[in-house]
């Protein structure tokens, strides 16, 4: 019975002599003596005298950092990392359900941690994910809330990061990163008056420049800590004793947006080997046994190992000396479900280590650690690049997740933009903020099974869903399939509440009768809008309402599904006819590409250009045409080799030429600035590796590929495409079919200089020639090849903010590249294709003497430039193997899946699902622009805003729409071209939250990458927003005044601090004059709360 059986998962399992423990041979006579001793033994550990502290008999756990020279302070940081969805849904993780997949129950973690901290005032705990904590908080009694508030007040329970989720940094848009952080910070401020001051990104798969600049410095964080950096950089930093640094990755923002940063040793965020005491994850570990009357006492071994580990950490952290303060992370994924096991053992470790005296150990938090590091007054090296991409070993580059689950990535991006448009309309229409969320809750609406527990605002359910989807196992596509479905369902449920507010706003602004039918068209990418289809089929007219959430005017190509070609479009204000045409709906390659809503999809689309002012809601009236002839666009076919003449589509700004022999793009000319580039585009696929390190949800590893990736297979058998051409005054299209599973429509719209490429890819075939053998998997790319002499350079956005210069690492075998990774003097990219992929969220660009080629995207994707003049973007992945990074499920998306536990015909129970139906079909858009290098930013900065802030489109039947009236415009005039309003939200107290941003980085444009003035007091046209009576500037996450944030935020010392530039130093003034003018520096974002009469 006494033989020890517990072993930590943090150490490899190996055979052990059952008659030994902790290296000590055990003999039968010792056991007899030990059993006898149980009748009289007393604690060998000295007790505290008297009754001064009744909480912790036997162990002294008080203490803190010492400044004694040469003494190492070991900060024991008790924490748990709780994914808000991964192998289980966020609900299952909270309640501890579905434990056949993973044992985890967050509610029990918080219950037991609070209980254990109440038992000893020395104990501390650090918590992060507000999606879990806020749910737990709503379930507590008033008495328990008082207890928790006390723990927070006295520093025992501390919050770091504080976002709704721990957002990803590769696949997220900066606006959504801000929203996620602000949503969590809001509740912490309301409940505890708590303002997080440390960033904690321990699990995301690489780290972006935006995380350091916006989501650290600009929210007031003094420090940022994380794991998961490239293994070669980690090795170099350990060698250089530089795991802590000043991170300053933005040339534009400079030292104003730098942050003290610590990367954890050995790429992990769990406890040091041998120090895990979690019952669920580590089987309890080896308990600290300190009764000297027991034969298997092991406390001395624990103390020695602790001290040895402390010196190892300290010697890897600071150059030239042993670090005085180090962190031991005591916890990991979903740990502390039984917090007693952790704290009881840590109490003993603290007591005996301090009694030993070689190091100083105590309960601490990242906040406390940051305070201690600041007191050291050390100068740190400066890092100016980011931490992308991530590789954890020679052949394991985490670059596949940049594209994994492309449909969910697009849905999240679409709903994030919709959230901003919905907030604007709610404010401009002056609606109550909680009308529908309250009614839905009272009425038990079905979407409230996704209620967060904290919803008080009509936009809260959607805001919570968008924030949840920023999680590093959500937007990344690295979750199990059933969890991906749950994330999408939450977006739909949140959107259903926001829809009600949007419909009310449209009725109000359009002067429609209460309850009048307003149909929101949210499936236009599948050619579905039932209201317009039904009305046109019945020969009735209807109104199209188009709302522009951009801060500038725009010319928007509007496509409305209809049932007949005989239609005209008129301006709803002037009643003048608007040029329009009717074309066939977006082409699919074959019946295999039928969309989910194919049965509802229209075969025709009405196309016209909507001319929209800033924040303008405009009405277009569609009526049956009296013309006897169809007004459909003309179509023509280029049949291939027989047609020797090139095919051209063009407008007044751009000309696009196709090779009629191959069916492929041949050149693009910008008529405005005279730039013309030879460029072709085609679809290819990499074969996924299935041996050793396999491709999977996280990792991209191609198989049997040349180092530059130029030998991979085309999507079509002959690397050609068939062509159909559609011409009209509104739009000209070339419709390409590459294979039965790849089609694309290339469009040029009147008055626009960008070329739209709408691609439809899938179902990706996965069977061999005989239709039986499973193929290893395909990772599909769209490759643009041009004559631009770009060398090894590539520019990619950092979450839509800074444009970062990337250098392709040498693809030669065993190359030791000296400039492709600035933080690694000599870098060996062991996977030349996968290791040269980077994340792109808004645009990627190459430049040369010939001009600039930019591709703008509508979701996160992976991008590379494998040879000069090329851009390739990964658009879809269907991978039939798991990459052994924890999700334990292949990335094989189909129409649906079976339950995870199911019984076959032979009564055999299976514990993993089978796939149902065909593979996923994905549709998306790339916008291609060719410009001179000097004017490239003007194009891509405008496009990235247009794509994120997509117009909102609704249809009103003829019986409901009002007679001609002036269009509603929310802004008095266009904001400058380098400015945009990011957030405009009505608060519960009637005030308005406004975030306004400069769109350009320094040196991007001679005229626009400069400081700009914005009149906050003269923005809006509506009476209730006429003149603010008070303006208060806030931090980026809006949880404190900016002045207070700057005053409290301490700056660690950089070695180059004497020459570092603070780009904001002249632009921190209060609003000036009657119009409350503020100044924005390049890439600066400022947040304000506006109060009105």
Which residues belong to the active site?
203
Distance between CA atoms of residues 1012 and 1084, nearest Å: 10
Alpha helix locations (H) across 287-377?
299-314, 339-356, 366-376
| 1024, two tokens | 């209730």
Buried b (16+ CB within 10 A) or exposed e, 431-451: bebbebbeebeeeebebbebb
At residue 103, the 3 state secondary structure works out as: coil
- Listed residue (971, 1081, 1060, 917) closest to 382, CA to CA: 1060
CA atoms within 13 A on the CB side of 1021: 15
Residue 185, CA atoms < 13 Å, CB-side half-sphere: 23
List, in sequence order, every beta strand (DSSP E) within 99-197.
125-127, 157-159
1086 token code pair? 């400022």
Give the separation between CA 878 and CA 696, rounded to whole angstroms. Answer: 9
Q: Which helix (H) or strand (E) holds 421?
A: helix 406-428
Per-residue tokens: 1051:
């700056």
Q: What interhelical angle do 481-509 and 435-443 show, nearest 10?
A: 120
Under a CB-based contact definition with an 8 Å cutoff, are residues 634 and 617 in contact? Answer: no
Q: What is the DSSP letter of 884?
A: S
Q: Looking at 958-1029, which runs of residues are DSSP E strands?
A: 968-969, 979-986, 992-998, 1012-1015
Geometric angle at alpha carbon 241, from 166 and 162, rounded to 5°: 15
C-alpha distance from residue 940 to each of 170, 613, 800, 806 (Å): 19, 20, 10, 18
DSSP track, 896-917: EE--SSEE-TT--EESS--EEE
C-alpha to C-alpha distance for 621 and 639, rounded to whole angstroms: 39
CA torsion 841-419-1035-244 (nearest 10°) is -30
List, as own/partner pairs, every contact residues 21-27 make where C-beta atoms lie below 8 angstroms and the sequence separation is at least 24, other chains included: 21/296, 21/298, 22/286, 22/296, 22/298, 22/301, 23/301, 24/295, 24/296, 26/295, 26/296
Which tokens sit at 790? 């770009």
Task: List all residues 6 or more positions away from 16 whose beta carbon is below 8 Å from its beta carbon.
Answer: none
E-strand stretches of 965-1084: 968-969, 979-986, 992-998, 1012-1015, 1030-1034, 1053-1054, 1077-1080
Give kind and range of the element (H or E) at residue 209.
Answer: helix 209-213
**Angle (CA) 518 524 529, round 5°:** 40
What six digits make up the tokens of 283?
């089987």
Cα dist from 804 to 259, 331, 344, 799, 862, whole Å: 18, 35, 48, 10, 15
Q: Do 386 and 208 meet the contact criterion of CB atoms below 8 Å apart? A: yes
One DSSP character per residue, 793-862 reads EEEEESTTSSEEEEEPPP-STT--BSSSSTTSSSB--SSTTGGG-EEESSEEEEEETTEEEEEEESS-EE
Residue 267 is encoded by which pair of tokens? Answer: 């790429």
């Amino acid at each position: 019975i006494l033989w020890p059986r517990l072993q930590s998962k943090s150490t490899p399992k190996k055979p052990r002599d059952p008659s030994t423990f902790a290296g000590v041979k055990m003999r039968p006579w010792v056991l007899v003596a030990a059993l006898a001793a149980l009748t009289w033994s007393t604690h060998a550990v000295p007790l505290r005298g008297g009754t001064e502290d009744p909480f912790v008999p036997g162990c002294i756990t008080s203490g803190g950092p010492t400044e004694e020279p040469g003494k190492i302070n070991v900060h024991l940081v008790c924490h748990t990392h709780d994914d808000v969805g991964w192998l289980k849904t966020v609900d299952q993780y909270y309640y501890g359900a579905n434990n056949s997949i993973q044992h985890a129950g967050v509610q029990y973690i918080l219950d037991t941690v609070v209980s254990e901290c109440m038992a000893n005032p020395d104990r501390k705990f650090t918590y992060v994910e507000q999606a879990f904590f806020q749910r737990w908080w709503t379930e507590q009694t008033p008495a328990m809330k008082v207890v928790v508030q006390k723990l927070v007040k006295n520093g025992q329970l501390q919050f770091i990061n504080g976002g709704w989720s721990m957002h990803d940094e590769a696949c997220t848009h900066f606006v959504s990163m801000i929203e996620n952080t602000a949503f969590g910070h809001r509740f912490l401020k309301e409940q505890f008056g708590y303002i997080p001051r440390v960033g904690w990104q321990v699990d995301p798969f690489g780290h972006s420049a935006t995380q350091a600049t916006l989501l650290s410095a600009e929210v007031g964080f003094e420090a940022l800590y994380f794991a998961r950096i490239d293994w070669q950089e980690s090795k170099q930093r350990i060698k250089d004793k530089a795991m802590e640094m000043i991170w300053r990755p933005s040339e534009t923002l400079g030292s104003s947006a730098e942050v003290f940063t610590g990367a954890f040793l050995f790429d992990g965020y769990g406890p040091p080997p041998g120090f895990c005491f979690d019952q669920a994850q580590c089987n309890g570990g080896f308990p600290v046994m300190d009764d000297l009357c027991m034969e298997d006492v092991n406390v001395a071994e624990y103390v020695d190992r602790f001290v040895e580990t402390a010196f190892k950490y300290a010697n890897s952290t600071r150059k030239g000396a042993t670090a005085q303060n180090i962190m031991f992370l005591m916890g990991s994924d979903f740990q502390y479900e039984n917090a007693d096991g952790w704290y009881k053992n840590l109490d003993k470790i603290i007591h005996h280590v301090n009694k030993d005296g070689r190091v100083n150990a105590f309960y601490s938090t990242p906040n406390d650690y940051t305070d201690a590091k600041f007191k050291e007054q050390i100068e740190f090296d400066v890092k100016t690049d980011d931490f992308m991409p991530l590789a954890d070993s020679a052949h394991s580059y985490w670059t596949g997740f940049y594209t994994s689950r492309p449909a969910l990535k697009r849905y999240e991006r679409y709903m994030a933009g919709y959230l901003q448009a919905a907030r604007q309309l709610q404010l401009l229409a002056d609606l109550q903020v909680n009308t529908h969320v309250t009614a839905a809750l009272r009425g038990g609406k079905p979407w409230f099974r996704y209620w967060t527990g904290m919803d008080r605002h009509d936009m809260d359910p959607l805001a919570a869903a968008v924030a949840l989807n920023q999680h590093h196992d959500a937007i990344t596509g690295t979750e199990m399939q059933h969890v991906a479905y749950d994330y999408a369902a939450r977006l739909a449920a949140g959107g259903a509440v926001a829809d009600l507010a949007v419909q009310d706003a449209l009725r109000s602004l359009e002067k429609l009768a209460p309850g009048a039918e307003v149909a929101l068209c949210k499936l236009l990418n599948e050619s579905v809008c039932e209201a317009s289809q039904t009305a046109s089929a019945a020969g009735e007219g209807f109104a199209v309402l188009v709302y522009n959430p951009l801060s500038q005017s725009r010319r928007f190509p509007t496509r409305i599904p209809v049932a007949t070609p005989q239609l005209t479009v008129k301006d709803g204000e002037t009643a003048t006819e608007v040029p329009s045409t009717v074309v066939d709906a977006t082409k699919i390659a074959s019946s295999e590409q039928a969309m989910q809503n194919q049965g509802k999809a229209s075969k025709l689309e009405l196309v016209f250009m909507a001319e929209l002012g800033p924040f303008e809601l405009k009405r277009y009236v569609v009526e049956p045409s009296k013309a006897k002839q169809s007004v459909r666009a003309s179509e023509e076919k280029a049949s291939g080799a027989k047609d020797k003449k090139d095919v051209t589509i063009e407008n007044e700004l751009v000309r696009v030429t196709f090779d009629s022999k191959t069916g492929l793009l041949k050149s693009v000319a910008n008529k405005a600035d005279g730039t013309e580039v030879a460029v072709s585009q085609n679809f290819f696929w990499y074969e996924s590796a299935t041996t050793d390190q396999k491709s999977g949800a996280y990792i991209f590893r191609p198989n049997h590929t040349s180092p530059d990736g130029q030998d991979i297979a085309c999507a079509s058998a002959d690397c050609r495409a068939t062509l159909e051409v559609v011409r009209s005054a509104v739009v000209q299209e070339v419709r390409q079919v590459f294979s039965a599973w790849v089609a694309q429509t290339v469009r040029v719209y009147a008055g626009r200089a960008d070329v739209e490429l709408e691609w439809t890819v899938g179902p990706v075939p996965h069977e061999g020639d005989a239709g039986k053998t499973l193929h290893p998997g395909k990772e599909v790319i769209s490759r643009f090849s041009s004559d631009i002499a770009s060398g090894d350079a590539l520019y990619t956005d950092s979450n839509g903010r800074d444009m970062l210069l990337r250098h392709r690492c040498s693809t030669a075998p065993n190359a030791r590249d000296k400039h492709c990774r600035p933080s690694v003097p000599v870098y060996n990219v062991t996977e030349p294709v996968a290791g040269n992929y980077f994340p792109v969220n808004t645009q990627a660009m190459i430049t040369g003497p010939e001009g600039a080629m930019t591709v703008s995207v509508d979701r996160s994707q992976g991008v590379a430039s494998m040879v000069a003049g090329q851009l390739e973007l990964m658009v879809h992945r269907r991978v039939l193997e798991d990459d052994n990074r924890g999700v334990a499920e292949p990335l094989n998306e189909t129409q649906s899946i079976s339950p995870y536990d199911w019984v076959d015909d032979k009564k055999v129970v299976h514990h993993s699902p089978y796939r149902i139906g065909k593979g996923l079909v994905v549709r998306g858009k790339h916008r291609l622009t060719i410009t001179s290098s000097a004017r490239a930013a003007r194009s891509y900065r405008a496009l990235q805003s247009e794509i994120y802030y997509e117009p909102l489109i609704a249809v009103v039947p003829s019986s409901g729409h009002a007679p001609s009236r002036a269009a509603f415009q929310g802004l008095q005039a266009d904001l400058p071209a380098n400015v945009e309003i990011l957030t405009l939200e009505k608060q519960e107290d009637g005030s308005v939250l406004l975030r306004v941003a400069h769109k350009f980085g320094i040196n991007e444009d001679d005229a626009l990458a400069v400081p700009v003035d914005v009149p906050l007091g003269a923005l809006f046209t509506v009476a209730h927003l006429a003149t603010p009576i008070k303006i208060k500037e806030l931090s980026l996450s809006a949880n404190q005044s900016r002045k207070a944030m700057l005053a409290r935020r301490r700056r660690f010392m950089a070695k180059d601090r004497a020459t570092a530039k603070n780009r904001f130093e002249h632009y921190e003034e209060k609003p000036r004059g009657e119009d409350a003018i503020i100044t924005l520096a390049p890439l600066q974002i400022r947040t304000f709360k506006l109060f009105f009469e």
